[in-house]
Structure 1
Amino acid sequence: MRKSMIWGAAGLAAVLLPTMAHAASPAFDVERATRAYLDLLQGPARAKSDAYFEGGYWLTLWGTLASVVTYLIMLATGMAARFRDITERLIKRRWLQPAIFAVPFTIAGALIILPWTIYTGFFRERQYGLMNQGFGAWLGEQAIGVGVGIVVNMILFAVMFAVIRRFPRRWWLLGAAAMTGFVLIAALVAPLFIMPLFNKYTEMPAGPLRDRIVAVAAANHIPADHIYVSDASKQSKRISANVSGLGPTIRITLNDNLLNRTGPDEVVAVMGHEMGHYVLNHVQKAILAFAVIFLVVFFLIARIAPALVARYPRWGVRDVADPAAAAIFMLLASVAGLILTPVQNTLVRVQESEADAFGLDAAREPDGFAKVAMRLSEYRKIEPGPAEEALFFDHPSGATRVRMSMQWKKDHVPGATMIKPDVKFDQ
């Protein structure tokens, strides 16, 4: 972690000042200050960033196709039906059969799509210089992920097929409610039981930087008894922080890349942003928004799935209450996810923009936030077109964030002046 003593009494006093607007600095040119940052990313580094992110547009499509092919293989070969038959021979309790079916179903699905997972999750990340792990360590974490997926699907399948059997006409409505409840529980337990399977979480060490973050939190009435640091550098060079959990398990976490690769002003700016998610109840609001999405998707699946069962009897799926129908549900959900990608991106991007605004008011570090936005351009296209940003970005673009930061600086910092930003990028 970088250590600095620049956060003295003056710095703390600035944090504790109320976030009131000052008269705008007329001499400060927002567009010129913004361009000074954006022009830092030039030549090969910019081409690399654009290529990585734009390639992700196609990966969204190809990833959906890979999922569709995976489930079609499981249906067309009768694999899903055979898993069901084996389960029924082994387990006589009908309510338990979907849970047991989920075990081979999840493993088979992961193996079929494994070549695509290896390319997108390992080789492509290594190609663009973002991967720190060796293949063995990466593959081990994928295996852990499959294990988690088995447990999750066992619970999910048991609940969903019980709902379908009990309410054959309105199962989509109760199924969407059950899925929302499932997400609530997952959000509650993930920080305690799932995230530690992949990373080690430790308390941020005491020192001037932690004191500054605690001061920002206190000024905004945010509990900051615990600030966690994850060892994400063992996996990737990406800088990140997040708010996770729900209710008593909500926590703010930053990764060690953020501490090691940025300055104190950038860390405080990012933490102000993450505190915005907490204060604005974004986790709860996101779950409510996705509850509506679940309702729409489940309604469509309830209309389309029976038609597919009737049209393709060779798949061996008896009806929608048959656990083998999970392959049909997952196939349709994959297609729905692709279609709804712009909607989901917009929901997340709006929250991120709100947290950006909160973080600028809370941390009062516009240049720190602008520098972080530039660092994120290592893997996010810095200047997309308006339609491109609306369709494909689940966070505001770097250009949007830098411009917001410079406008905040003009509006809130008396006598604001341009700085000469210094952010280095890999070629």
Structure 2
Amino acid sequence: MKMKWALRAIAAYILFGLLMYWYLFYYADAALPAQYKGTAADPATFMSGRQLFLSEAYAKIRNLLFFLSVPYEWLFYFLVLVLGISKMFEQWAAAVSRIRLIQTAVYFFWFSLASFLFTFPFGYLSHRFSKAYGISTQDFAGWMKDELTDFWVNFAIMFAVVAVLYALMKKFRRKWWLPAWLLSIPFTVFMMFIQPVVIDPLYNDFYPLKDKALEAKILALAEKAQIPADHVYEVNMSEKTNALNAYVTGIGSNSRIVLWDTTLNRMDDKEILFVMAHEMGHYVEKHIYFGIAGYILMMLIGLWLIARWMNAVGRWMSGISSISSLPLFLLISSVLLFASSPLTNWASRYQEMRADRYAVQMTHDKKSGVETFQILTKAGLSEVNPPLLVKIFRYDHPTMLERIRMLEE
């Protein structure tokens, strides 16, 4: 019976994959509306024929990998549960020690390793295609180093989360979701506080911006926006990617303004100032705090739903407080995250558009804004007008068509 359910799940996944391939490669329409032909939003006006061809091909591959990787993760959780692999990991952990914390660590290590190996093909394919299309500049060794760093960072963070979560499940049984939610609030703030100074430096080298004249212009812009900032940081991303980025990260005294060196190499000062004004718009309009509040609210609803569904399914398991139920918890969590992504992406797109408007008001430089979006499109081989499903489930920023159109109009 278990094998039948496993085969059904695999067959459903293959069928879904074929359907998404048909949608993305044959049905979805990413053509630019006729009224925008020849405008600044038309990629034919700022991209070469080869760039247009690569952009279209790469977008389809990247979108297909996304829509295949999400249910692939669900398939892993389901198979680990239904085939008894999770129970086997729990038995291995119990054989190592009688101390519950050690059992949790052993179980979670085997589970994390199995998850890493199962999902590795998608990560590798994504890296290979990114390299083939000129986005990634990282060799396999460098990419693998980042993957292993990811594994251990996620293991350390998630082990702490899982250990506390299952201790609460044992203590509170049916109401565990409420104290779990209450504890998630300070944990979320703590992670945002340490991210720029503890986690980010594990992947890249951060140092003060070398171009002091540009730094002075950025800090003057920050002062005009009443943003407390003493330094602008540069990060050496060119050894990993040709993509461009800049951001403001962290909260409180650990907040940072960060520029990728690829952005510094590809944009002039006016374009960089537009990008930084956009990032400052998020700070001025307090998007980070709205984001934290929205995340905390969704966490409350999500944990309540997970608790209800786990209690319902727990009748056919040895009990939800058993660590072997972790794949069920993660399966429900992942499904809920995916189901809520249209809403969260819409909220994010709204905030990004507000930040774009703020950047125009701050710099009074619409021309540099348009050129910035064109450069970003070329650097990332981005779709200007992605298909509807792709936009709904993947885009947490407005499409380039929407951003350039807003500036022009």
Please report the TM-score for the alignment, with normalisation by the length of structure 2. 0.84
The partner residue of 1:301 within 303, 306, 312 is 306
Separation in 2, partners of 1:63, 1:386: 19
Q: Is the 8 A contact 2:38 2:44 kept in 1?
A: no
Q: Please tell me whether residue 363 in structure 1 is matched to residue 363 in structure 2.
A: yes
In the TM superposition, residue 228 of structure 1 has moved relative to its aligned partner by: 0.6
Match of 2:232 in 1: 227
Match of 1:162 in 2: 167
Q: Is the 8 A contact 1:66 1:116 kept in 2?
A: no
In the TM superposition, residue 370 of structure 1 has moved relative to its aligned partner by: 1.2
The partner residue of 1:289 within 283, 286, 294 is 294
Q: Is the 8 A contact 1:216 1:272 kept in 2?
A: yes
**CA separation of 1:309 and 1:369: change in aligned 2, threshold 3 A:** same
Separation in 2, partners of 1:72, 1:386: 29
The partner residue of 1:104 within 104, 110, 129 is 110
Match of 2:404 in 1: 402
Pairs within 5 Å for 1:83-232: 83-94=89-100, 97-120=103-126, 122-232=127-237
In the TM superposition, residue 330 of structure 1 has moved relative to its aligned partner by: 1.0
Instruction: Considering fraction of residues, name the structure with more helix.
Output: 2
Separation in 1, partners of 2:347, 2:102: 36
Q: Please tell me whether residue 338 in structure 1 is matched to residue 338 in structure 2.
A: yes
Separation in 2, partners of 1:328, 1:279: 40
Between 88-97 and 126-135, report the one with greater CA deviation: 88-97
Separation in 1, partners of 2:151, 2:406: 40
**CA separation of 1:206 and 1:392: change in aligned 2, threshold 3 A:** closer
**Secondary structure, counterpart of 2:197 in structure 1:** helix
Considering only aligned residues, what root-mean-square deviation do their CA atoms show, in Å?
Answer: 2.4
**Secondary structure, counterpart of 1:222 in structure 2:** coil
Between 276-285 and 40-49, report the one with greater CA deviation: 40-49
Where in structure 1 are there 5+ consecutive unaligned residues?
A: 1-29, 408-427
In the TM superposition, residue 31 of structure 1 has moved relative to its aligned partner by: 10
Match of 1:20 in 2: none
Match of 2:315 in 1: 310
Q: Is the 8 A contact 1:270 1:359 kept in 2?
A: yes
In the TM superposition, residue 149 of structure 1 has moved relative to its aligned partner by: 1.0
Whichever residue aligns with residue 340 of structure 1, its letter is: S
Separation in 2, partners of 1:162, 1:337: 24
In the TM superposition, residue 325 of structure 1 has moved relative to its aligned partner by: 1.0
Tell me the percent identity: 26
Please report the TM-score for the alignment, with normalisation by the length of structure 1. 0.81
Whichever residue aligns with residue 305 of structure 1, its letter is: M
**CA separation of 1:337 and 1:258: change in aligned 2, threshold 3 A:** same
Separation in 1, partners of 2:177, 2:305: 9
Whichever residue aligns with residue 235 of structure 1, its letter is: K
Structure scoring higher RCO (CA < 8 A, sep ≥ 6) equals 1
Separation in 2, partners of 1:353, 1:91: 54
Render the CA deviation track for 1:329-372: whole Å, top value 9, x for unaligned: 11122222222221121122122112111222223332222112
Q: Is the 8 A contact 1:99 1:153 kept in 2?
A: no
Match of 1:71 in 2: 77
Separation in 1, partners of 2:390, 2:48: 20
In the TM superposition, residue 35 of structure 1 has moved relative to its aligned partner by: 4.9
Render the CA deviation track for 1:370-400: whole Å, top value 9, x for unaligned: 1121122233211346776455421011122
Separation in 1, partners of 2:37, 2:49: 21
Between 265-274 and 48-57, report the one with greater CA deviation: 48-57
For these two proteins, the number of residue pairs brought into alignment is 372
Q: Is the 8 A contact 1:189 1:245 kept in 2?
A: yes
Separation in 2, partners of 1:58, 1:296: 30
**CA separation of 1:36 and 1:96: change in aligned 2, threshold 3 A:** closer
